[in-house]
Structures are given as structure tokens and as C-alpha cells.
Chains A and B, each alone.
Chain A
């Protein structure tokens, strides 16, 4: 029975005197941390959680252009340490990063250090124990830890992205091991959950993959009592992402703690109100952003490719100097409010909001998670 479902993977034979854990390190299959040996029985248990054919091809992943099958995903899910019931979520996660619009290759190959951040919505969170509360972005919860890692191991072992190879992160960040969490929808009842904002039904279980390049960095605001002031603080912090004087060309995730949600919701603010306030606070006249020999900032060379989200304007006077009216143009931090993803997560105590680093040019993808078998 086992051999009927697991089809094609080459079986590795390990002698009794071999250390299987060391062997898997030696094979280069790990991210530097131990993995669970992917025995046929474990892979089979994983595959039993989906209706899909183990040999179904989910995508062709760069740079190896290797076909990613359901079975190969299961093998990596075992290695990552997943429980079998996490498998449909892992499958949807790899479908998201395998989507052409996601841009997996650029995400991994950039020196900025892109990595998929996975956010889960819907009933699956409770069913399999995904943490959206205290320490949601930290360690200690198996579902969060291993689902994010399974997607990373697919990128390493199937796609073939490895640090020093096609993966070229300059500094890197620990979110490159794993970063997956749930939105605490129930704790923010007046806000539209992320998956609903993205067109799914509230009862759907959905995973969203978004490339981020660093962080989070945490905003502390323990004193603001109005939505306007608190969202102002968040806006000032978001304005500092990537460079305080350079607009963001990518989507970014803002994780709002329950206590901060309470302050915002008490004044009747929605996610869109927070987005608008962030944009309002973070926008600056172009003259305040331009680089000089004393301060880095918006590159003068970039003036030649005037940001497409601004009204077209001549920039230079006939004598080559910069036109005042062009310098007075208010430059938003984001070309579009929808680039700001807002989710509520975190423990009930603590007045913090955490913000991740965007990566220019990447597009997030959401996929529905299969119902349990």
C-alpha cells in the first residue's frame, strides 16, 4: 500500500552504522538545523491528508526548473517536522510561491534577502493549531515553525536556491528559516480579515505568501489614546522602512497587536483608515527626500524615471536646475494603499506594532487551503 502511493522519489539506503541525522546534513538537505528523516511511512502519512495525486505537478520552480510534485512537497514537509495534518496548508503555501506572478526566482536571488512570509486565515488556524496570539512571529509553536520551514525546504531542495549558490542575500535575516503565522481574526471583530480583503469568503481557509526582506522592527507606543495619534506613530515608523527618504516599491506587512487594535477600533477606524493615515504621515515633499552629499535619500538619478504613480511633470528648468514646483510635489511612501498589508496578531498584553521590510517588484499570492480529507 505504501509503495503504491509514493511513487517516484529515489530511495536512499542508509547502513545501520550510519548516523541518519548526520547523513541528512551531509546530503545538504537542511537549512542548518536538524530534519526528520523522510521515511516512506512518514511521507505516506503526509500524502494521506490530501486528495491530490502524489505525482501531480504543482509547478516548475527556478532555478533548477525542477518539477514540484505533491510527493516532493510531502518529503520536504516531513523533513521540516510537519505533522501530517499541516500538509494541505503546506501544499497551498507552495502553490502560492510556485505561482508565476509570485516571482520566486527574484525573491530568492536578490542580495536584499527576500523570503516568503506566510499568513494564514480561516478555520484551518484553529483546526491545526496555528498561533496568531502571543509570540505568533516567534518560536515554540510547531505548526507555525514547520509550515514556514517546509516551504523554505521546497525552495532549497526542489527549486535549488541555496545560500552561496543562486541565493545571494547580503546580510540575511532569521525569517529565512521560517516565518508563518495566523491572523487573529476573532480578536479584531470589526476589521476585515486579510483573506476577505483579497476576495475569499470568510469561511475559507487561505494562505498568503508575501516576499519580505527583513525585520520585523517593532514600534512601541504605550501612550497614544486616539486612533489618529497611534496610526500617526505607525506611519512615522513605516516611513522609515528601506530608507526614511526613499519611497517603497514593494508590499509590506504591518502586524498590529491586539492592544493597538483596541485603540484604533475604539475610534471606529478600519484597516483602510489606518492605511490612509500611514500614507498621510509618511508622505513628504520631494525636496525633503532628495539625496545630497551630506545625506542619503531618493537618488537624483531616479528623477529621470519619474515615479509612475505621480502626475507627469517637467523636473528641470531650461538651465538644468530642479524646478520648484516639481520639488514641492508630495511623494507618497507607497504608490498605492493596497501595498500596505495590515493583520492583527500577538498576545493580549503589549502595545506594539511590528513592521516587516518590503521587497520591490514582488507580488503576493493567496491560495485556498484544501478541506480536510
Chain B
């Protein structure tokens, strides 16, 4: 058991009469205990015996984890030797004590010589033999038969949820670098966070160091790793700052890998988050999640998937919005210039119901990932979803036609769409399409077929707006409009791939939803998918 390890951390703790400093220059036995642990109580008579017998030559220190309990132990077991007060748990944490009792024997310079935890009759017997050797005194007179062979220890107080994370946040080497905000005793923390301007108008969860540390444990990455620079503030986005915003949003720690991947997606240059948020059209990221992570963290792809009531959906989407607000610096009235806005700007994150649509290729596989990969796709939309009701169509042509007519209404009935458009197909609508063997691509073709009409029917006239001016010029390439042009077929969506089709929703209800695009291509945006980190042994 003897190891040539480096010295254990220094400390100074009060024993009620004096400060004890470690290392003390003498051999030292540290006995970490807490009062409400039966195994510690079983060990206390032996610790007292070692203090009484060897205390003149070896420092035998009990280290108690709460001050009231320490007093109880001193009293009940008639302790005359030192009981150090580690109720702040800093030493327990620094020594990585996860079980009490833990006994550690060191030399005079603080090098660990021997350690065990829990109660082991042989461990204690060996320890007294070692103290006897070190002190040159006889072996303690213990009737070992009175003790059980072994008894497992209890959890150290420093490992309790909430406490561990606080200690980690406060310890040397803390992952947290962010400036702390002190909250006065009479201050209302929720109001304070409103006043700080870090919310979207709804309450946020106070980002205490404990909560941020817990979030950071769900990634293997360095908290100070910079994953992006977000406009307009051009502030570095670190993993730690994302974690703070995930706490504010209300995320459970196991959602954090999704939030991180989504943040990387929206920070991708092709995504053009600045252009999307700054536009008067009201762009906002919509997040669609695929793969096993959905079930692991409870992301809803079923009934009410795009609505309220599901913490994972609600808070993951919101965390990304708060990153855009609090790190990027986009705020309504500032660089965020939506004319009308829409409630998807609070949060909009949902999962594809892959299992409910077994004959269709899931979104992430269409985008080049493996079926078993967990992937988040971010796409800018500017409003919606608006529903199309079709309760009677029994053929895929008719139902696909209804969805196509609705999609043709996006932006303006007489303006081609300009970008990627999310179409949410409900399970019952999927059934009608899939029964006839239709794939997502078949639906795309039908939507395009229905939305196509000759140029003359797109033109603005005195009856209504439509193609005119610069938007018309895009189709004429700088030439004058001719009679031949008027018959040219124009599609609603330039690319079939712009139609982002996902199945989601409850098992009952013959409606699908169509969202409003931003612009795809130069000066516009492009959807970005990111694989989500999965951490072995954590979360699932």
C-alpha cells in the first residue's frame, strides 16, 4: 500500500481550540467522518483508542464534516484528541473523499502512506499495527471479535448533489471563469435577472455555480474552449457561457450536448445567424433533432411536438435563443429588427418521429448522417407553422396536392419561395401517403407540381401584388419581358431540397404544418446539421 505519491494538499483546520496545519511535520492519520453515518459511529471507538494510545507520537486527527455532528461525536465517544471542523467540506473535496469513514496515513511531509475507506476489521487492525510501529508503543488492546468483519461506508457529504457542484465551482481549478453577480439577501433573484436584461421576457433559472458545474459535466470538452464568435457583439462563445445560458433557459444537464451542438450549428458561417436575426422578416432558428438522443433525454416528437409542455423541447430551443441574446448581443429593438415577430422566437425545437414513419428516410440520414447518429439540424424560419386541414383525401395525389397548395401560399401566393421550408407531416397524413408507397421525394415532386405555373400568373397587377421589379428581374436576367417569357413555367421552390419534410405530431389529427422560409443562398441562410456528442456513462 505504500506509494511514493506526491504530497497531499496542505490545509489548516480548526479543532475548537487551535488551528491544525497539515502537513504537521509528524506522521499523521486523517480520519474523515460524519455524525449521521453508522459506519463512522462503528469506527469512532477505534479512532478514540488510536488517539489515546499513539497521540503523543503521531497526529491522529478526526476530520468531521458538520460542526453540530462533530460536537455530538466528541460527546458520545468521549473524544479527547483533535476533531477538526471541515463543515465547509473544502478539505474533503480537495482530498476527493467519496466515502466516510476514510482513513489516510501520511508521513511528516504529507505523503500518503496508507488509505482505506468504510469499515474493515483487518484494515483497522493493520492501521493500529502500523501506528504501533511508528510510535514504538505496544499494540492497542482491542477486542477485535466485538467488531464485524466489514461494513460499507456512507457517502461523503462533499459528494452530495448540490454540495459537490458548489465545491467544484469554488475550488482551485474551478471550470467557472464568468464574473459572479452577488445577490443581496433582500433582493429577489428572479427580478434581478430581469433587470440584468438576460431574459426573453419569461423567468429564467438563476445560474448558480452549482448548476453551471452540473451542466458542464455533460460534456467532455474544456469549459474554456471557444466554439464560436457570435455577431453582433463578436463575443467569444465558450462552453462555459453556453452552459450558463442553458441553466438560464431551464435545461436539465443531460440536454447540454444538444444545446452545444445546436450552438455550433447556428454559429456556422453558412447559417448566417446575424442576417437572419437582423432582418425585419423575423428569422429565428428552428431546431429539429434526430437519432437516439431523442428518447434518452425525452424530446417530444409526438402529440404537441411544436407546442408547450415538454421541458426538453422548450428549454433546448430557448437556450440557443438566449445564447444569441446574451452572448451574441441580438435584442429586439437593438440589432434584432423583426417587424411583427412570432412566438417561435421564444423557442422552437422538436424531434422527428422516425419510428412512426418507418418507410421514410429521416432528416439526418437525408443529410448524410448514419441512422444511429444523434443529430440536431438548425434552420432559419420566419413564421409558422400554419396548418393545412385535409380530413378527406384518400389518395397521395390529393393529399400531396393539398399540402402543395398550402406551401404555394408561403410568402405570397404570387411570389416564389426563396428558401428552405419546414413541412411537418402529421402521422395520419404520413399514413395516407405511405400506404400508396410515396416517399418524401414523391411528396416533394407533388408539391413542386402543384406550385408551378406560367410566369404570367405570378406577375403583380392592379388586383394584387406579385412578381415585380427586382424580384421579376431575377427571372428575366436583365432582359425585357417578352411574350415567350410569359409562358415559362416557374416553380414555387427553386430546389426540391429546399422542402425539409419531417414527420411529427400525435397519432390523431389530419393536419400538416407549413412554415415560412427566410432566404437560402447568397446573403441568406443555409440549414446546418451537427452531430451530438454522446458521453459514455453519462445521461442515458
Contact = CB atoms under 8 A, between A and B. Distances in A.
B464 A236 contact: yes
Nearest to A31: B308
Interface string A255-270: 1010100000000000
Contact of B202 (A25, A146, A236, A281): A146
Contacts of B147: none
Contacts, number: 373
A216 B338 CA distance: 14
A357 B250 CA distance: 30
Contacts of A235: 464
A160 interface: no
Contact of B426 (A171, A219, A291, A295): A171
B513 interface: yes
Contact of A176 (B307, B345, B395): B307
Interface in A181-240: 213-224, 226, 228-230, 232-233, 235-237, 239-240
A141 B464 CA distance: 34
B347 interface: yes
Interface stretch (B39-47, B138-146, B313-321, B356-364): B313-321
Contacts of A143: 201
A243 B201 contact: no
A135 B345 contact: yes
Nearest to B388: A243
Contacts of A293: 394-395, 397-398
Most buried by A among B307, B325, B471, B506: B307
A352 interface: yes
Interface in B457-516: 460-466, 468-469, 471, 504-506, 508-509, 511-514, 516
A168 B507 CA distance: 10
B148 interface: no
A136 B205 CA distance: 24
A348 to B, nearest CB: 8
A60 B411 CA distance: 42
Nearest to B424: A171
B398 A294 contact: yes
Contacts of B307: 113, 115, 163, 169, 171-174, 176-177
A140 interface: yes
B142 to A, nearest CB: 37
A220 B411 CA distance: 5
Interface stretch (B70-78, B124-132, B267-275, B402-410): B402-410
Interface string A134-150: 11111111111110010
Interface string B150-166: 00000000000010000
B346 interface: yes
A175 B344 CA distance: 7
B342 interface: yes
B401 A295 contact: yes
B501 to A, nearest CB: 14
A135 B391 contact: no
Nearest to B330: A140
A216 B302 CA distance: 22
A237 B409 contact: yes
A36 interface: yes
B217 to A, nearest CB: 16
A178 interface: yes
A297 interface: yes
Given A113-B304, A243-B405, A140 B204 contact: no
Contacts of B424: 171
B460 A345 contact: no
A299 B340 contact: no
B171 interface: no
Given A134-B339, A224-B460, A142 B304 contact: no
Nearest to B384: A217
Most buried by A among B339, B394, B398: B339
Contact of A163 (B308, B337, B460): B308
A236 B412 contact: yes
Nearest to A81: B203
Contacts of B388: 242-243
B534 to A, nearest CB: 23
A142 B282 contact: no
A5 interface: no
Contacts of B206: 21
Contacts of B331: 140
A218 B464 contact: no
Contact of A170 (B338, B412, B469, B511): B511
B306 interface: yes
B535 interface: no
Nearest to A169: B304
A213 B321 CA distance: 24
Contacts of A354: 340, 342, 383
A218 B516 contact: yes
Contacts of A217: 383-384, 386, 409-410, 514, 516
B266 interface: no
B386 A169 contact: no
A220 B398 contact: no
A32 B426 CA distance: 22
Nearest to B325: A140
A7 interface: no
A219 B394 CA distance: 30
B326 interface: no
A115 B463 CA distance: 34
A134 B412 contact: no
B194 interface: yes
B409 A240 contact: yes
A134 B315 CA distance: 24
Contacts of B95: none
A145 B162 contact: no
A215 B384 CA distance: 4
B204 A221 contact: no
Contact of B509 (A111, A142, A255): A111
A144 B201 contact: yes
A133 to B, nearest CB: 9
B348 interface: yes
Most buried by B among A141, A229, A230: A229
Contacts of A219: 411-412
A296 B340 contact: no
B11 interface: no
B294 interface: no
A202 B308 CA distance: 35
A292 interface: yes
A257 B464 contact: no
A136 B338 CA distance: 9
Contact of B346 (A80, A139, A350): A139
Given A240-B409, A242-B388, A293-B398, A218 B303 contact: no
B415 interface: yes
B244 interface: no
B393 to A, nearest CB: 4
Contacts of A25: 250, 311
28 contacts: A21-B205, A32-B313, A32-B314, A33-B249, A34-B205, A35-B203, A112-B509, A134-B333, A134-B338, A137-B342, A138-B332, A138-B342, A144-B201, A145-B202, A168-B303, A170-B508, A170-B511, A173-B344, A173-B513, A175-B343, A217-B409, A217-B514, A219-B412, A229-B463, A236-B464, A296-B402, A350-B281, A352-B281
Give the top 4 A-B pairs by smallest Cβ distance, nearest first: A172-B307, A138-B341, A350-B339, A170-B509
Given A291-B392, A350-B281, 10 more contacts: A81-B190, A81-B203, A141-B332, A142-B194, A152-B308, A170-B426, A177-B347, A178-B343, A216-B386, A244-B408
